[in-house]
Structure 1
Amino acid sequence: MKVEFAPRSLPLQRRLQTAAVVQWVFSFLALAQCCIAAFIALLFTRFWLLSALYAVWWFLDRETPGKGGRRIHILRKSIVWRYMRDYFPITLVKTAELDPRQNYLAGFHPHGVLAAGAFINFCTEASGFSTLFPGITPHLMFLTLWFRVPFFRDYAMSGGLVPSDKESASYLLKKPEGGNLLTIIVGGAQEALDARPGSYTLLLKNRKGFVRLAIENGTPLVPIFSFGENDLYEQVRNPRGSCLRWLQHRLQQIMGVSLPLFHARGIFQYSFGLIPYRRPIVSVVGKPIPVQKKHNPSEEEVDEVHQKYINELTKLFEEHKAKYNIPEDRHLEFI
């Protein structure tokens, strides 16, 4: 295979953009494991007290992730995330106002391989969330497992990530003063296995837990479609029914995380590697769907709101797809 190297004459700006994405990919794929290793390794050195003190802090602070987390605004506004935004670039588009006196539950689609659009738009200020939606505080749900990792949990909370469990969600959605947007990537890790350029397959048909949660709290639902999210990586062919897909699905059930075999470009060359392609992402926030509060909704009531949500998401996709060069004959596929 012929390797296409990046030209030496690349401007510093582009190199800094690549560096920002490299650190993010590393954080996503390996930082948690490094934090575990560091925590254990320190116990066998003269710095063992650092791990011991952190363990005490960890115990005392154990409830914080489920109580809205602990964001650090200086990190959310870091220039690093602006460089990462410009690498693709990533844009956030508003189609309707959000009332800061209300709480909202947003569904983000699709997951993509690494959910780059969801991270930049809701865990940083790089795309201008607070300017577009004044008075609204964004939160993004993240696999609960990662909040059990020392050091990494604090890093995750700094951007506005919260555990993906019902208790954490309810805590934010029940806040009487309002002003919270809780975003859940509905398709989750399993949907990442279908993330490849040109794919519009969403794992949504039987994902109704977020709808039930919205009804129980009387929280409006907000559909979000992120155009270009699936275009960042190629993925090894894994059609449903194949041995590879069966193995990936089993591992996802056991570990809670999916293992898509993805590839794109490298740091200094464009032919292979784990760095995403420079392809634009546009995350379009749809209009809120009013939800009538009911403590114990029936299956029929959940199904009715779920279908309404699918209809609004489909409408959002169809109204905007031509702007982002999606062929007229391509439509969302729900599985």
Structure 2
Amino acid sequence: MASSKDSIFERVLQTLAVAALVTIQVLFFLFIPALSCYMIFSTKYWWICVLYFTWYLIFDKDASVTGRRRSEWVRSWTWWAYARDYYPLKVVKLPCGELDPKRNYLFCVYPHGLLSASTYLSVATNVTEFTKLFPQHKSYMHTISAFYKVPVVRDLALWAGGVEASKKALEYNLSKKDGGNISTLVVGGAQEAYYSNPGIHKIVLKKRKGFIKIALTQGSPLVPVYSFGENEIFSQLEFDENSIFQKFRELVRKKLGFCIIYPLGRMDLLGLVPKRKPITFVVGEPIDVEKTENPTQEQIDNLHQLFEKKLVELFESQKKHYLKDYENAHLEII
């Protein structure tokens, strides 16, 4: 007998929930900014936008650094559970991955994928195993600062426990004296999204050392995380590196922090909804970090090399459980 999660009704709800997450991206890029401009310049409701932006600038601008508008009610919406079951997504902690409740941790996630769907659902909601595996820690997802400048999208992100992927926000969270906090950072960022395709495990790490320095100055252990299946849910249209469009979207990435990408998901839904592929968010062993107020470049480089080694070890030891062609799958680090 089929389970309730396999019923047609449940599968429709799962698809709608995932489509809603994609819609948030569309709201961010197009609809909300356009609507705000329309209301200000073409309607009598301009004062609503003015009030909102005044409140934001005077009272709420720092919320994306402190995470003070986090809502456990929003994080526990059943809607997120439908999105979790769509793939389905599960969170796995390796046996050696125990955390000290009196310390703050920096979880470093790979790969970015097109949506970072597994990171969002694992860290920014209460519907996965993540909260059960780390019950003594409060998790925060660090995302691009541009999200926190767009009405509605900003509020949803803040309620979900989102904060900026900035030095200021990372240091604020990791410096909390009582410990018990997890900052989650998708280190490869928007640049890594360019390489997101099924069967590809290409990550951006070689020159990314800012997070290493922050971990050292705060004495926060680093935790490597690899999300097996994240790159499988979308493919994308490819563009020549020397094409005008590629140069334009690289300019957008550098200036605004996000990528212009044409996703190819389920073709029965115009390619905009991700494919149903299982995703496993695997949390590795914490790398202990001794607090160093003024780390030298050598100390930063050494910790960076150790992190890279541990991330590769995590991938190589776990790939046989989650990848079909695991014998030919290897991390390509750029």
Q: TM-score, normalised by structure 2?
A: 0.91
1:141 alignment counterpart: 142
Residue 242 of structure 1 deviates from its aligned partner by: 6.3
Pairing of 1:63-102 with structure 2 (within 5 A): 63-95=62-94, 96-102=97-103
- SS of corresponding position for 1:328: helix
Query: In 2 relative to 1, CA 280–58 (structure 1 residues): closer, same or farther, beyond 3 Å?
Result: same
Q: Which moved more, 1:40-49 or 1:204-213?
A: 40-49
How big is each residue's C-alpha offset from its partner over 1:11-44, in whole Å with a ceiling of 9 and x where there is no partner? 1110011110111101023245333334344445
Paired amino acid for 2:11: R
Check if 1:28 corresponds to 2:25. yes
> Alignment identity in percent?
36
Given that 2:91 and 2:282 are in contact with CA atoms closer than 8 Å, whether structure 1 keeps it comes out as: yes
CA contact (8 A) 1:32 1:152 kept: no
Are 1:100 and 1:134, in contact at CA under 8 Å, matched by a contact in 2? Answer: no
Alignment of 1:244-263 (within 5 A): 245-263=246-264
Amino acid at match of 1:62: K
Does 2:329 align with 1:330? yes
1:319 match? 317
Cα distance in 1, alignment partners of residues 99 and 330 from structure 2? 27
- For 2:289, the equivalent position in structure 1 comes to 291
Q: CA contact under 8 A between 2:27 and 2:153: conserved in structure 1? A: no
For 1:315 and 1:135, locate their aligned partners in 2 and report how far apart those are by CA, in whole Å.
27
Q: Post-superposition shift, 1:76?
A: 0.6
1:291 is displaced (CA, Å) by 0.7
The 4+ residue runs of structure 1 with deviation greater than 6 A are none
CA contact (8 A) 1:17 1:87 kept: yes
The number of aligned residues is: 324
The SS at the match of 2:328 is coil
Code of the residue aligned with 1:13 in structure 2: it is E
State how 1:99-178 maps to structure 2 within 5 Å: 99-178=100-179
1:185-264 pair list within 5 angstroms: 185-238=186-239, 245-264=246-265
Q: Do 2:24 and 2:153's aligned partners in 1 also have CA atoms closer than 8 Å? A: no
Provide the residue aligned with 2:3 in structure 1.
none
Which secondary structure does the structure 2 equivalent of 1:216 belong to? helix
1:50 and 2:48 aligned = yes
Query: C-alpha distance in 1, partners of 2:138/2:247?
Result: 39
The 10-residue stretch of structure 1 (292-301 or 36-45) with the greater mean CA deviation from structure 2? 36-45
The one-letter code of the counterpart of 1:330 is: A
**Partner Cα separation in structure 2 for residue 40 and residue 73 of structure 1:** 32
Q: Deviations over 1:35-79 (max 9, x none)?
A: 333434444544444333323321211112111241111111101
Alpha-carbon displacement from aligned partner over 1:92-133 (angstroms, at most 9, x marks no partner)? 111111222110011100000111001100111121322111
1:320/1:240 CA distance change after superposition, 3 Å: farther
Aligned residues of 1:68 and 1:171 also touching (Cα < 8 A): no
Task: Report how far residue 241 of structure 1 moved.
Answer: 5.9
Q: How is 1:272-287 mapped onto 2 (pairs within 5 angstroms)?
A: 272-287=270-285
SS of aligned partner of 1:194: coil
Greater Cα offset, 100-109 or 121-130: 121-130
Distance 2:73 2:90 in 1: 21
Q: Which runs of 5+ in 1 are unaligned?
A: 1-8
State which drifts further: 44-53 or 301-310.
44-53
Task: Give the TM-score of the pair, scaled to structure 1.
Answer: 0.91
Matched position secondary structure for 2:327: coil
* 8 Å Cα contact 1:139-1:183 kept in structure 2: yes
Take 1:241 and 1:284, find their aligned partners in 2: how far apart are those partners? 36
**Alignment gaps of 5+ in structure 2:** 1-5
For 2:285 and 2:168, how far apart are their aligned partners in 1? 26
Where 1:74 maps in the other structure, the secondary structure is helix
1:12 match: 9
Shift of 1:178: 0.6
Q: Structure 1 residues 125 and 239 mapped into 2: Cα distance closer, same or farther (>3 Å)?
A: farther
CA distance in 1, matches of 2:243, 2:51: 48
* Matches of 1:84 and 1:327, distance apart in 2: 27
